[in-house]
Amino acid sequence: MTDADDGDGDARHPAVDAAVQAMANAASLSPADQIPQYEAAYQTLRETLATIDQA
């Protein structure tokens, strides 16, 4: 395994890290409260991937 794919490497993106953390935080919420958190994370990930595709 290389530094870039060990989960702690430099190939990180702040928006992706925030979305992943938001999903982890949502795990402690009720299912009804999890849905908006997951939808927001999904939207962030879509937007981030779209900008990567444009690069």
| 4 occurs within a structural domain | no
| 6 occurs within a structural domain | no
Domain with 23 in it: 13-54
| 3 occurs within a structural domain | no
| 8 occurs within a structural domain | no
pLDDT digits (tens, 9 = 90+) for 1-54: 344 455 566 678 899 999 999 999 999 999 999 999 999 999 999 999 999 877
Residues 6+ positions from 1 with CB-CB distance below 8 Å: none
* Alpha carbons 36 and 30: distance in angstroms, whole number: 11
* Alpha carbons 39 and 18: distance in angstroms, whole number: 13
In Å, how far are 4, 7, 23, 26 from 10, measured between CA atoms? 6, 9, 21, 26
- Number of domains composing the chain: 1
pLDDT digits (tens, 9 = 90+) for 20-29: 999 999 999 9
| 1 occurs within a structural domain | no
Q: What pTM, to 2 d.p., does this model score?
A: 0.70
